[in-house]
């Protein structure tokens, strides 16, 4: 078995988002982060929330997978660099470009200085070929810099609720390739 830490982006993931649907599927094996700063993300707050959720998840199973979306990818990567936990894998979906024109600079200023560095665990970065928050060339560079396997999804924008993916079975298959679920 695997325990999962769900790391949504800004404002969390609504009930139609694939992360929320996966969380329901996994039941007590999933732990969603609970930062105090959902709408005005503060990186230290989000990193502390990941740590707290990881501690709960790691008591449930020996293997933990981080399942991050959007801004949550950057928080997850930052936490991984510092915590360097054992028995972890990371699925990073649709990371926004902190230097791009669509990045929420005013809402998330503590995320602006981040850059991708090698991650200490098996990782898969999934990006949309038409994501308004990050172009494919930039997302491919993030995958290389994180030393994550890269995967490009066609025609689903930011890979969120608005993408109409439902419980995103193709994403679950990608996750299964990363960890044994």
For 12, left (φ over 0), alpha (ψ -120 to 50), or beta? left
Which residues are 127's β-sheet partners?
Answer: 152
CA dist 181 and 2 (Å) reads 6
Name the pTM for this structure: 0.96
pLDDT at 180: 66
Cβ pair 110, 43 in contact under 8 A: yes
Contact 4, 67 (CB under 8 A): yes
Instruction: Give CA separation, 96 vs 20, 25, 49, 52, 153, in Å.
Output: 20, 26, 20, 24, 15
CB contact at 8 A, 89 and 30: no
pLDDT in tens, the chain (181 residues): 899 999 999 999 999 999 999 999 999 999 999 999 999 999 999 999 999 999 999 999 989 999 999 999 999 999 999 999 887 899 999 999 999 999 999 999 999 989 999 999 999 999 999 999 999 999 999 999 999 999 999 999 999 999 999 999 999 999 999 996 4
* pLDDT value of residue 181: 47
Give the helix/strand (H/E) hosting 124: strand 123-128
């Amino acid at each position: 078995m695997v325990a999962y830490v769900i790391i949504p982006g800004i404002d969390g993931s609504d009930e139609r988002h694939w992360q929320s649907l996966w969380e329901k599927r996994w039941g007590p094996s999933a732990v969603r982060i609970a930062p105090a700063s959902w709408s005005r993300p503060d990186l230290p707050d989000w990193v502390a929330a990941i740590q707290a959720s990881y501690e709960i998840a790691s008591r449930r199973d020996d293997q933990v997978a981080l399942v991050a979306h959007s801004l949550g990818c950057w928080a997850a990567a930052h936490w991984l660099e510092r915590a360097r936990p054992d028995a972890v894998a990371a699925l990073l979906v649709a990371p926004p470009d902190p230097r791009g024109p669509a990045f929420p600079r005013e809402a998330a200023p503590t995320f602006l200085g981040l850059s991708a560095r090698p991650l200490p665990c098996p990782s898969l970065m999934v990006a949309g070929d038409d994501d308004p928050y990050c172009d494919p060339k930039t997302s491919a560079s993030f995958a290389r810099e994180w030393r994550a396997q890269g995967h490009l999804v066609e025609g689903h924008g930011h890979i969120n609720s608005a993408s109409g993916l439902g419980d995103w079975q193709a994403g679950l298959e990608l996750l299964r390739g990363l960890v044994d679920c």
